[in-house]
Amino acid sequence: MQRRLKGELNSLKELKSLGEAAGYVTVAAIEQIRKPSSRFQIGRGKVEELTRLVKEKNAQKVIFDNRLKTVQVYNLAKETNVEVIDRFQLILEMFTHRASTTEAKLQIQLARLRYEMAHAREKVRLARKQEQPGFGGLGAYEVDVYHESIRRQVKTIQDKLESTKRKRSLHRTRRKELGFASISLAGYTYAGKSTLFNTLVNEAVPIGKGLFTTLSTTTRAFELFGKRTLLTDTVGFIDKLPLELIKAFQSTLEETIFSDLILLVIDANQPLEEIKRKLSINLDTIQKIGAYGIPIVTALNKIDLLSRNEVEEQKEALKEFALNIVPISALESENLDLLKEELAKHFKSYVRVCFSIPISNETMSFISWLFKETIVKKLNYEHNYADLVIEVLPEFSEKVLARIKKYDGTVKELV
Ligand SMILES: Nc1nc2c(ncn2[C@@H]2O[C@H](COP(=O)(O)OP(=O)(O)OP(=O)(O)O)[C@@H](O)[C@H]2O)c(=O)[nH]1
Ligand SMILES: [Mg+2]
């Protein structure tokens, strides 16, 4: 069920996909165009129509695309005699259904508890009035006890999440020190982020049949023209993603906030209006999570499903909205070199160091360290010396030069 104003888009199709991802089967979809009513969100007449439809189709639940107030949920449940939830609760349910990592589970639990906390007082008040679907089991709790217990649970989860967050931040610092450049995938759910991730890093993270297949981040290294680069696959964005959920996913999204570049993936196989809508949600969400000022490369994905002309048209039409557009097919590995070139443009060039160094136990371990942490282009052993050509990121070069000096090496060339 969706209530919308005249100019607003119909999002029932997306709501249906969300429902399917959460394990529901849709038996009917209806909408009403009018201003929200405070009692039911929809109009009185529509409530009756909805109630009839529920009976006729033997529906078990009504899902609203609109955000519902607790009292509206209560009133609607009373009229229809089935449980009523809104888009936010549906997204929560679906995430719960899909979450496989501990962190994702904790994040979702946190979002759920925060939601409960915000609605607790009203829910308890209404639960006292009468038993309603979705309002059971609360009457026994006193409001304050209930509140306190939720607050304690929230704190425990926050502590646990904080520790993974700290670990993640340590890893990030370490990777920066090692001179890795980092790229984060971003984009609407189902755009093909994980498919592109798999193609670029040669991995096999799960690809979705439905929305929100990815709920936790995965980071892998890959070569970008000889430069070691880290790519992170992330959770997808969606329209009307409530702030509570964005906040709950903050520690996951930090990978995006702290990356050097955002690779924004867009599904090109949709009407232009739809692409534009999702693009603006993407950019908006990137702002909301606090990833300002990070360069963006836009991959216009799934071009294998379009004609050459259509691709050109879309690229042209999106020019003023999206940055650095590269049409690709992640599935068919089309134009990936072009994409990589575009990505590489945004990274600082490496410093090339040619040097020789006397061989000793110490320098041998230095050399094996260089193999791990820099790009070794050349290595020759001559008499008691090793000749090397390596490439490092500028901010990392000082450290390497200092060590060469320490081991009595001679730098022949520095570019
Ligand atoms: N035809 C075509 N299909 C693609 C392409 N890339 C991805 N897909 C399909 O699009 C669907 C979603 O792909 P995913 O890679 O799971 O998308 P995602 O952006 O990671 O989605 P979430 O993790 O749910 O946010 C899958 O069915 C893919 O097979 C492409 O280049 N061409
Ligand atoms: Mg994914």
* Secondary element (H or E) of residue 151: helix 143-177
Residue 164, domain member (yes or no): no
User: What's the structural domain count of the chain?
Assistant: 4
- Report how far ligand 1's centroid is from the alpha carbon of 193 (Å): 6
Question: Which of 366, 368, 377, 376 is CA-nearest to residue 399?
Answer: 366
| pLDDT, position 140 | 52
Residue 121, domain member (yes or no): yes
Q: List for the chain the helix, strand, coil content (%; round to 5).
A: 50, 20, 30
Residue 361, domain member (yes or no): yes
Kindly state whether residues 55 and 110 are assigned to the same domain: no
Neighbours of ion ligand 2 (CB under 5 A): 193-194, 213-214
Kindly state whether residues 27 and 144 are assigned to the same domain: no
Residue 285, domain member (yes or no): yes
Kindly state whether residues 334 and 358 are assigned to the same domain: no
How do strand 218-224 and strand 227-233 relate by DSSP bridges?
antiparallel
Residue 228, amino acid? R
Q: Looking at residue 384, what DSSP letter applies?
A: T
Residue 71 is encoded by which pair of tokens? 């009292």
| pLDDT, position 115 | 81
Which residue, by CA, sits nearest to atom 24 of ligand 1?
A: 212
Kindly state whether residues 71 and 107 are assigned to the same domain: no
Kindly state whether residues 73 and 104 are assigned to the same domain: no
Residue 356, domain member (yes or no): yes
Kindly state whether residues 250 and 113 are assigned to the same domain: no
Q: What are residue 375's DSSP bridge partners?
A: 391
From 91, 107, 125, give the residue that closes a domain: 91
Cα separation, 137 vs 224, whole angstroms? 56
| pLDDT, position 16 | 94
Task: Provide the CA 231 distance to its chain's centre, in angstroms.
Answer: 13
Q: Looking at residue 192, what DSSP letter applies?
A: S
Which residue, by CA, sits nearest to atom 1 of ligand 1?
A: 302
From 91, 120, 138, give the residue that closes a domain: 91
Cα separation, 220 vs 202, whole angstroms? 9
Q: What are phi and psi of 338, to 5 degrees?
A: -60, -40
Cα separation, 299 vs 76, whole angstroms? 43
Determine the structural domain holding residue 18 and report its residue range: 2-91
Kindly state whether residues 371 and 330 are assigned to the same domain: no
Kindly state whether residues 327 and 358 are assigned to the same domain: no
| pLDDT, position 359 | 92
Kindly state whether residues 297 and 364 are assigned to the same domain: no
CATH number of 382's domain: 3.30.70.120
How do strand 218-224 and strand 385-392 relate by DSSP bridges?
unpaired
Kindly state whether residues 66 and 114 are assigned to the same domain: no
Question: Quick one: which ligand is closest to 190's CA?
Answer: 1
- Report how far ligand 1's centroid is from the alpha carbon of 365 (Å): 44
| pLDDT, position 136 | 57
Question: Quick one: which ligand is closest to 218's CA?
Answer: 2
Residue 170, domain member (yes or no): no
Tokens 């890959």, residue? Answer: 222
pLDDT per residue as tens, the chain (415 positions): 999 999 888 889 999 998 988 889 999 999 999 999 999 999 999 999 999 999 999 999 999 999 999 899 999 999 999 999 999 889 888 888 777 778 888 888 888 888 888 777 777 777 666 656 666 555 555 667 777 888 899 899 888 888 888 887 777 777 766 767 889 999 998 999 999 999 998 866 666 666 666 666 788 888 887 777 889 988 888 887 776 777 677 767 777 888 889 999 999 999 999 999 999 999 988 888 878 778 899 999 999 999 999 999 999 999 888 989 999 999 999 999 999 989 988 876 678 899 999 999 999 999 998 888 787 888 999 889 999 998 887 777 888 999 999 999 999 877 7
Task: Provide the CA 392 distance to its chain's centre, in angstroms.
Answer: 30
CATH number of 284's domain: 3.40.50.300
- pTM, to two decimals: 0.75
Q: Is 256 helix (H, G, I), strand (E, B) or coil?
A: helix
Question: Angle between the 102-129 and 87-98 helix axes, to the nearest 10 degrees?
Answer: 140
Residue 84, amino acid? V
- Report how far ligand 2's centroid is from the alpha carbon of 244 (Å): 21
Atom of ligand 1 nearest to the CA of 197: 15
Cα separation of the two ends of the chain: 63
User: How many other C-beta atoms lie within 10 A of the C-beta of residue 127?
Assistant: 19
Cα separation, 403 vs 344, whole angstroms? 28
Kindly state whether residues 23 and 123 are assigned to the same domain: no
- Report how far ligand 2's centroid is from the alpha carbon of 151 (Å): 32
Kindly state whether residues 12 and 103 are assigned to the same domain: no
Residue 388, domain member (yes or no): yes
| pLDDT, position 113 | 87
- Report how far ligand 1's centroid is from the alpha carbon of 402 (Å): 46
From 72, 91, 110, give the residue that closes a domain: 91
CATH number of 86's domain: 3.40.50.11060
Residue 296, domain member (yes or no): yes
Q: Which residues line ligand 1 (CB under 6 A)?
A: 187, 189-195, 207-208, 211-214, 236, 301-302, 304-305, 329-331
